[in-house]
A and B are shown apart, each in its own frame.
Chain A
């Protein structure tokens, strides 16, 4: 079965960076894009961006452009989300996700979420 397993919770100071990993299994990693979302306390879900199977198509949401970097390592079937210049309002649960069918934006498979806390 398809599984996306994310790295553990992180506590960071303002101005630092955080890198969250998302290890995929149960399917051919290079067949599907990986998307990243976050849910901050009291806020709506936010889409952060996507990365294609061979990393030649990376798309960042305008809000995160310049601060987020998405990468993937096909040798370990792992995707990464790197967020820099952290602020307190970046405190959120970060999720990786995959659609069920390529091209249709319906997210059926999700990681368990990674809590990132930004605090001085």
Chain B
């Protein structure tokens, strides 16, 4: 069973700054890695899949990178609507799908 570990658990960032979120897989997941954003009271929203492909309608300030077991989501120029919880999800040999525990991006 693959374990996905996200860090940090909480990230305090000022509006306009860059946020860098990490996700580590316990074994290689190739490029089968996605990122979701969730705001309170809402379902998750797909941001990125296949490590670095932005989903439809996702602004260019969201970017993903990495390979194998180490992945990064970067949010450049944080806007007020970006303060949320972010989850990585692997889908190597799905099902199942395994999610990380999330990183909360809060206002500094």
Contact = CB atoms under 8 A, between A and B. Distances in A.
Interface in A12-59: 43-47, 50, 59
Given A95-B43, A105-B91, A106-B55, A47 B97 contact: yes
Given A44-B4, A44-B87, A107 B99 contact: no
A110 B44 CA distance: 7
Nearest to B90: A105
Contacts, number: 46
Interface residues of A, number: 21
B: contact size bracket:
20 to 34
A61 B96 contact: yes
Interface residues of chain B: helix, strand, loop or mixed (majority): loop
Given A105-B97, A106-B34, A44 B43 contact: no
Interface of A: 43-47, 50, 59, 61-62, 95, 97, 100, 104-108, 110-113
Given A44-B99, A62-B96, A107-B36, 13 more contacts: A43-B101, A44-B98, A44-B101, A46-B99, A61-B95, A61-B96, A95-B44, A97-B43, A105-B94, A106-B46, A106-B49, A108-B46, A112-B43
